[in-house]
A and B are shown apart, each in its own frame.
Chain A
Amino acid sequence: MEECLVEYFRTQMRTDPDMASAVAAIRTLLEFLRRDKGETILGLRESLKWATDCLTEVDSSVAVSSGGELFLRFISLTSLEHQDLSRCKKVMEERGELFLEKISLSRTKVAKLCHTFIKDGAKILTHSSSRVVLRVLEKAAAEKKRFTVYVTESQPDTAGKQMADALRRLNVPVTVVLDAAVGYVLEKVDLVIVGAEGVVESGGIINKIGTYQMAVCSKAHNKPFYVVAESFKFVRLYPLNQQDVPDRFKYKADTLRTVSDLSDEHPMIDYTPPSLITLLFTDLGVLTPSAVSDELIKLYL
């Protein structure tokens, strides 16, 4: 059962590399719901939770777990008072498809909101490879704006190079810089745009390691620091500092399984506190970090 699930997930990720991992996870969960042979609603919820946990073990990003939880909440946020279990299941499936539809449009919504903040002749700094940021820059280029982009190389997986290639295909002038050169390059740039793997309750973000450094430097240079994220990345976590982020998000899933002593491993993500973020662009609108908590209360309570 588990292998079937994981296989489906992996296929989804392979067929559409542009899709967010959370969207693939939700597709998998929807398919799981369809195939589930459970007899009770409670059993259904339990098995969905178990499925989400399985997927988190495959891909330990924050977005997968938050997406899964939101999916579960969304489909059960309706009256399930039908006598017939199959009717309930049908209702849940319909809502699941609605949810999927909504979130597939979220990147377009974010791009529409954010591209207006990129002015003609702007110099943008971004970190590592983020598909949302790419979408935003695509939209801005489509609006005939001229801008240059600096991308950090983002070790250890050098994801920044992929971002640079994608931008070159759009005919955007792009320069790859070392992670250590962020402070050096910041005086030249006008704004900083990064994606997020997860948006936490305080309004801060969890993103690839090196984001916190970039945020601190841009604060010191008084440059605006923008974050673009879809709403399914909102997660009910509240880290107080870097150490407070749970280990299951910090390291890749296979590292957690194989390695016993994590102090030798280097974490893949870091936490950026809300005081360093200027604005967050989400499909729920343009939010200040303190408004994220309001949105989360609305989503979760």
Chain B
Amino acid sequence: MADCGEPDGPGNKDDITRSKNEGKELTKEEKQRLRKQKKHQKKQKERKNEKGPSETEKDKTPVSLLPPPQPVATQKAPSALPAPASAPIPVPASAPFHSSPAPSPADKPAKSKAELKAERRARQETDRAAKQPGSSSSGIKTKVPLSELNPVVKRLPEHVQVDDPAVVKRLAKKLERQQTLPYGASNKIPLRSDYGYKVSLFSHLHQYSRKAPLTQLLSIPSTVIHPSIVRLGLQYSQGIVAGSNARSVALLHAFKQVIRDYTTPPNEELSRDLVNKLKPYISFLNQCRPLSASMGNAIKYIKKEISNIPSQCKEEEAKTKLLTCIDRYIEEKIVLAAKAISKYAIEKISDGDVILVYGYSSLVNNILCEAFEKSRKFRVIVVDSRPRLEGREALRRLVQRGISCTYVLISALSYILPEVSKVFLGAHALLANGYVMSRVGTSQIALVARTYNVPVLVCCETYKFCERVQTDSFVSNELDDPDDLMVTRKGKTQLENWQDVSSLGLLNLVYDVTPPDFVDLVITDLGMIPCTSVPVVLRVKNLDQ
């Protein structure tokens, strides 16, 4: 066919262009079909999308929900393989077009065809968007990523779209495709299923049961996931490793083990292959327990370090370099930061203080123990809450040091606050608009403390600062196992058969956000800053990198 040389009629043009694998135009019907499909998806998305289209106009990077590292990597990955994976709609859409006429059904041409199609579609979308009068995109955006169907609509991260079945299906497909082995089709990362009735306000989030860990669904031996990662995932999902610092350190140690056991396959480069190897591990850990902001930042750092390895570097050298990088990260951002924060915080503790702490924050505990060693005279009130009762651990550690403590439950907060002179809180993450994300109950403490005019100090290392913006605790949160709320007293378990009661839902939230007006001071390793200066620190950090 290709050597015919004579010009074909318009009817045969499509076949020939497709078979020649370089066509740039689709037929009119195909175009219409594509447009209809896209419109349909856009409508679906816009219905689910809580934010109005006006928000999506501001396509500026600081104001965006932080997608889990997985989709970010897939969106930015230039390779053709992830592109059709994260845009599965064009793949089935292109299937009817490419069924029989494609003379070369081999994998490679089909993938690049899909890539071309995605490119075409993206260009058409931008053209159409630019033509619309009320269009928000400021001219044709030059940076439209390949996998983005709608460059104007900001894509929601998948972990807050659990109530949309299409998204869940897409996630399952993505996990399937993340196997990096050419053989062994059963070695995929399983999708963890939700458990129990979810309260409607939080139905967009995952809710897993602790009794069904993800590891039970894995085949043995699991050749896709490194055993230390499997162990880590199990530790996360069972709550054995908890607390954002502990989780990040455990993650980094597991990654060190992965790097030690890694060997570069023959025709691959370490810098690219290792990053691809880490992707299924990260999705697996995400399925076990959603990643925290600190873990996300640590993963970003590791990925950057790996991709910066020069290609002529020998494998052993590269591996030792990466291991030292990780050790340095832990040392600088966690251990030394804790020392710096203690130094600033101790200035704020005066003799005769009554300090209130909530739950168990490793950093706040560290500060109090150091202050006690520097012979400051103070006493501590530990506030605790169900179902985690983490305050007991904090209480145990403080009493061991000899610090005089009082223990109350959070319901007695307004009773105890008139005695308190300062409140020290830890944070899980500090958001870009100055909101503090921390264990559920923290915003309550900050609110009541503000009413009693008690200064609230938040202690947080800079590696927990994230670019995300959130003003309420609903939009993105974590739902823990609802069975934890069941309590057994005197042999009787209340709520034992809560699943049978159709109108009953149990809600076990893990995090909440505190607005910056309730926080007086944030102590970081860079110094003492007001809560509103978090974006400045983020800007300074980005300049450093």
- Are B520 and A240 in contact, with the CB atoms below 8 A? yes
Residue numbers in A under 8 Å from B528 (CB-CB): 201, 238
Cβ proximity bits B527-545 to A, threshold 8 Å, 1 near / 0 not: 0111011001000100000
Interface presence of B455 (CB below 8 A): yes
Considering only residues 262-293 of chain A, those with a C-beta below 8 Å from chain B are 274-275, 290, 293
- Are A297 and B520 in contact, with the CB atoms below 8 A? no
- Are A297 and B536 in contact, with the CB atoms below 8 A? yes
Interface on A for B, CB 8 Å cutoff?
Answer: 201-203, 238, 240-241, 243-244, 274-275, 290, 293-294, 297, 301
Interface presence of B422 (CB below 8 A): yes
- Are A238 and B540 in contact, with the CB atoms below 8 A? no
- Are A293 and B348 in contact, with the CB atoms below 8 A? no
Residue numbers in A under 8 Å from B526 (CB-CB): 301
Tell me the nearest residue of chain B to A203, going by C-beta: B530
- Are A238 and B533 in contact, with the CB atoms below 8 A? no
- Are A201 and B530 in contact, with the CB atoms below 8 A? yes
Residue numbers in A under 8 Å from B348 (CB-CB): 240, 244
A136 vs chain B, min Cβ distance (A): 27
20 pairs, A vs B, C-beta closer than 8 Å: A201-B529, A202-B530, A203-B530, A238-B528, A240-B422, A240-B455, A240-B457, A240-B520, A240-B521, A274-B530, A275-B517, A290-B532, A293-B529, A293-B532, A293-B533, A294-B533, A294-B536, A297-B529, A297-B533, A297-B540
CA distance A301 to B526 in the complex (A): 10
The residue from A241, A243, A293 contacting B530, defined by CB atoms under 8 A apart:
A293
CA distance A40 to B130 in the complex (A): 65
Residue numbers in B under 8 Å from A238 (CB-CB): 521, 528
A144 vs chain B, min Cβ distance (A): 39
A236 vs chain B, min Cβ distance (A): 8
B497 vs chain A, min Cβ distance (A): 50
A67 vs chain B, min Cβ distance (A): 21
- Additional A-B contacts beyond A240-B520, A293-B533 (6; CB < 8 A): A201-B529, A243-B350, A274-B530, A290-B532, A294-B536, A297-B529
CA distance A57 to B529 in the complex (A): 29
Count of B interface residues, CB-CB < 8 Å: 17
- Are A293 and B536 in contact, with the CB atoms below 8 A? yes
CA distance A202 to B530 in the complex (A): 6
Tell me the nearest residue of chain A to B434, going by C-beta: A290
CA distance A301 to B521 in the complex (A): 19
The 6 closest A-B pairs by CB, nearest first: A290-B532, A240-B455, A293-B533, A238-B528, A294-B536, A202-B530
CA distance A222 to B530 in the complex (A): 24
CA distance A203 to B521 in the complex (A): 12
CA distance A293 to B457 in the complex (A): 17
- Are A241 and B529 in contact, with the CB atoms below 8 A? no
CA distance A294 to B520 in the complex (A): 16
CA distance A295 to B517 in the complex (A): 20
Tell me the nearest residue of chain B to A288, going by C-beta: B532
Residue numbers in A under 8 Å from B533 (CB-CB): 290, 293-294, 297
CA distance A243 to B348 in the complex (A): 11
Cβ proximity bits B488-532 to A, threshold 8 Å, 1 near / 0 not: 000000000000000000000000000001001100001011101
- Are A202 and B521 in contact, with the CB atoms below 8 A? yes
CA distance A241 to B450 in the complex (A): 13
- Are A241 and B532 in contact, with the CB atoms below 8 A? no
Residue numbers in A under 8 Å from B455 (CB-CB): 240-241
CA distance A238 to B531 in the complex (A): 13
A198 vs chain B, min Cβ distance (A): 16
Tell me the nearest residue of chain B to A240, going by C-beta: B455
B541 vs chain A, min Cβ distance (A): 12
CA distance A37 to B248 in the complex (A): 53
B274 vs chain A, min Cβ distance (A): 35
Tell me the nearest residue of chain B to A204, going by C-beta: B530
Tell me the nearest residue of chain A to B457, going by C-beta: A240
- Are A290 and B540 in contact, with the CB atoms below 8 A? no
A56 vs chain B, min Cβ distance (A): 19
Tell me the nearest residue of chain B to A244, going by C-beta: B348
CA distance A290 to B529 in the complex (A): 10
Residue numbers in B under 8 Å from A290 (CB-CB): 530, 532-533
CA distance A243 to B455 in the complex (A): 12
B73 vs chain A, min Cβ distance (A): 32
CA distance A203 to B532 in the complex (A): 11
Q: With A201-B529, A201-B530, A240-B348 as given contacts, are A301 and B422 in contact (CB-CB < 8 Å)?
A: no
CA distance A92 to B277 in the complex (A): 55
Tell me the nearest residue of chain A to B533, going by C-beta: A293
B531 vs chain A, min Cβ distance (A): 9
A80 vs chain B, min Cβ distance (A): 23
CA distance A241 to B423 in the complex (A): 13
CA distance A244 to B350 in the complex (A): 9
Residue numbers in A under 8 Å from B457 (CB-CB): 240
CA distance A275 to B530 in the complex (A): 12
A228 vs chain B, min Cβ distance (A): 21
CA distance A301 to B422 in the complex (A): 28
B388 vs chain A, min Cβ distance (A): 29
Residue numbers in B under 8 Å from A244 (CB-CB): 348
- Are A301 and B540 in contact, with the CB atoms below 8 A? yes
B288 vs chain A, min Cβ distance (A): 39
Tell me the nearest residue of chain A to B536, going by C-beta: A294
Residue numbers in A under 8 Å from B532 (CB-CB): 290, 293
Residue numbers in B under 8 Å from A275 (CB-CB): 517
CA distance A203 to B516 in the complex (A): 14
A299 vs chain B, min Cβ distance (A): 13
